[in-house]
Amino acid sequence: MTMPRVVIVGAGPAGTRAALTLARYGLKPVILDEAPRQGGQIYRRPPAQGGFRRDARTLYGFEAKKAERLHRDFDEKQAAFEHRPEMLVWEIEPGRLHGYRHADNRRFSLEWEALILATGATDRVIPLPGWTKPGVYSLGGTQVALKYQGCAVGRRVAFLGSGPLLYLVAYQYAKAGGEVAGVLDTAPWSAKVAALPALAAAAPATLAKGLWYLAWLKSRRIPVVNQVRPLEVNGAERVAGIAFDTPRGSDSLVCDALAMGWGLRSESQLAELAGCRMVFDPLNRQWLPERDPDGRATGPKQIYLAGDGTGIAGADAAELAGELAALALLADRGTAVDRGRQAELRQGLARIHRFRQALETAFPYPQALAAALPNGAILCRCENVTAGELRATAQIDATELNRAKAYCRVGMGRCQGRVCGPAAAEILAAALGKPVEAVGRLRAQPPVKPIPLEPLSGEAIAEAAPPSLTFSLEGPGEENAEPRA
Amino acid sequence: MTQPQFLRLAETDRTALAYELDGEPASALAGDTIMTAILTRRGHLRMSEFGDGARAGFCLMGACQDCWVTLGDGRRVRACSTLVSAGLVVRTVPPPIAPAAPASAAGP
């Protein structure tokens, strides 16, 4: 019997559980991950070099046990799969994917028979006048600085946004000895109150943790301001403060760094390139690859989706979804899988989904805030496109995002709309007087991230049979290519 | 812009290593990203191509591409996801692009 080549993209909670599940049934998957070490973003480990010494409790707080379990399970089973770190997958074609290895600046290509995409998420941000100044960071990035490097992003950091991560990261900074200027929560009070019963019913432990962080911050006399409407980032050449409105009037905080985030957005580009059907998801307000409850993609065969890359549900859900997707893959290949375990995983995911809905009610994405970005403010930080320039395209005939992109370059830069995309959709939709789903999405383009430009001599293809794969690699590139517009 | 942006809160007893930043000798700690190495000494990573001032990165997870710096071999890398190593040459200002070969006889 020949073993199918199963490739997993992403070594976070979903990709890790998928790999371990396949290994348990005797398959030897290849895991390609962009990071140097397994763990993903939430359970990201400090670099192997340098002798970092903080323990799991310090790094991951209440989630320490889960993080340790995920790391340990992975480390103990290293021989059961092929972990290929520092590998960016930048294009997926039927039966073959293309990648780039950061470590030695080489491109590779790899055949696949079945694919599990566990590509995760990044911060969902709302641009703000002055947000390109040095010292403004995404909320998740602010956490990465501390977790991965032991650094604060500034001497005095203000936190702006909404959602559980806002309070968690502010707490982690203060606890690590950083100075927190304040927490500015944009969520309406009424929404939080309305969502309380559902949050308490669906996930009392998570709610309790959130309230605990809040109480801890208040006990340290760290200002926590509710119902904030941010106005602008103060400062000439770098962050000097944040100005905002509250129901009681205008105010500001002095700080030299600002962390901001409003939940997360899925990294769905690879699924889209692989041919998955994309559908608008009202809960996430994002176009997402469609899948069945077990993770089978709609459209292409032998593609499975798991974790936050298919809609935000968090790390616990990602572990369940990774295992469930792997079981679906096995079942589709005729392997007898544990049906009882499948039922358990489905139930677990359904429970988390109910909680996620309550969370979205408590901390709704403030689309009106995104849509109201002043005309002069930079919206797209790669191409320096202002909100006004995007709105002007609506006056010509930009009826959807890709046309607007062609006119004004919004989302055309090297991040490919990862940062400004959600806000750009809200701005264009508001300018056209349409619901956000009516303006579509920025289409995914290969390479999904910038890679060095190679000569046209072509690249080597890895043809070796599993389980011992050898990657054929091309030589170093000469200059960087930006993503195709 | 000389005031550093980042502040070390933990893990400060790692080994020091020497690298080169914009032609000057500089020191970092083993396990630092290039971003950490630069921003614990300076307030920014690079100047925006659009003349609107300095940038110091944004997402720290390889998504926004706002922290590009140039290495000694000419390669552009993300400062947030590249570790600094002993002797590494880092430039925050990319070297000028070599002029193209002159075009054949110009003029209408």
Mean pLDDT of A410-416: 94
Chain B residues within an 8 Å CB radius of A479 = 74
Helix or strand or coil: residue A247? coil
- Residue B29 CB contacts under 8 Å (≥ 6 apart), including other chains: A50, B11, B12, B14, B15, B16, B17, B36, B37
C-alpha to C-alpha distance for A196 and A161, rounded to whole angstroms: 19
State the DSSP H helix or E strand holding residue A109, giving kind and residue range, or none if neither.
Answer: strand A106-111
A140 close to A261: Cβ distance less than 8 angstroms: yes
**Interface touch B10/A150, C-beta < 8 Å:** yes
Evaluate if residue A464 carries a pLDDT over 50. no
Q: What SS3 state is found at A462?
A: strand
Contact between A480 and B54 using a beta-carbon 8 Å cutoff: no
DSSP code of residue A277: P
Spatial distance between the Cα atoms of A248 and A235, rounded to a whole number of angstroms: 24
Dihedral sign from CA coordinates of A150, A151, A156, A159: negative
Positive or negative: CA dihedral B79, B80, B81, B87: positive
Distance CA B53, CA B51 (A): 6
Using a pLDDT cut of 70, give the percent of chain A over it: 93
C-alpha–C-alpha distance, residues A334 and A328, integer Å? 10
Report the alpha-carbon distance of residue B108 to residue B95 in Å, rounded: 34
CA distances from residue A132 to A101, A140, A366, A427, B70 in whole angstroms, order as listed: 29, 17, 20, 18, 21
Helices and strands, number each (H, E), in chain A: 14, 25
Taking the mean position of all CA atoms in its chain, how far away is CA B44?
A: 9
Instruction: Note the pLDDT tens digit of each residue in A309-328.
Output: 999 999 999 999 999 999 99
Q: pLDDT tens digits for A327-361?
A: 999 999 999 999 999 999 999 999 999 888 888 88
What digits encode the pLDDT tens for the residues B34-82? 999 999 999 999 999 888 899 999 999 999 999 999 999 888 999 999 9
Which has more confidence, A91 or A362? A91
**C-alpha A203, offset from chain centre:** 22
Interior/surface letters A215-224, b for 16+ CB within 10 angstroms, e for the rest: eebeeeebeb
pLDDT for res A263: 95
The answer on pLDDT for A154 being more than 70 is yes
Residue A135 has pLDDT above 70, yes or no: yes
Distance CA(A123)–CA(A71), nearest Å, equals 23
pLDDT at A2: 62
Nearest CB to A53 within list B11, B59, B73 = B11
The answer to whether residue B107 scores a pLDDT higher than 50 is no
pLDDT at A400 over 60: yes
Residue A42 tokens, joined:
């939430």
What average pLDDT score do residues A172-183 get? 98
ipTM (interface pTM): 0.92
d(CA A173, CA B103): 57
Report the C-alpha gap between A359 and A25 in whole angstroms: 36
* Cβ contacts of A127 within 8 Å, gap of 6 or more: A370, A373, A377, A378, A379, A381, A387, A420, A423
Q: Above 90 in pLDDT, residue A218?
A: yes
Interval A258-313: pLDDT, tens:
999 999 999 999 999 999 999 999 999 999 999 999 999 998 999 999 999 999 99
Sign of CA dihedral B55, B60, B66, B70: positive
CA distances from A454 to A476, A479, B71, B101 (A): 8, 8, 18, 21
What DSSP element (H or E) covers A146? helix A139-149
To test the contact with chain A by mutation, choose from B29, B46, B65 the residue with the greatest count of A C-beta atoms within 10 A, namely B65
DSSP A437: G
The answer to whether the CB of A442 falls within 8 A of the CB of A408 is: no
CB contacts of A155 in chain B (<8 Å) are 7
pLDDT given for residue A17 in this prediction: 98
Backbone dihedral angles phi then psi of residue A215, each to the nearest 5 degrees: -65, -40
Instruction: Kindly report the nearest CA distance between residue A360 and chain B, in angstroms.
Output: 23
**A404 and A438 Cβ atoms separated by less than 8 Å:** no
Q: Where are the beta strands (DSSP E) in A267-390?
A: 278-281, 286-289, 303-305, 378-380, 385-386
For an interface test with A, the pick among B2, B3, B6 (most A C-beta atoms closer than 10 Å) comes out as: B6
8 Å CB contact of A137 and B43: no
Q: Coil, helix or strand for B96?
A: coil
Q: Are A108 and A91 in contact (CB under 8 A)?
A: no
- Sorting pLDDT into bands at 50, 70 and 90, what band is A481? very low
CB contact under 8 A, A237 and B53: yes
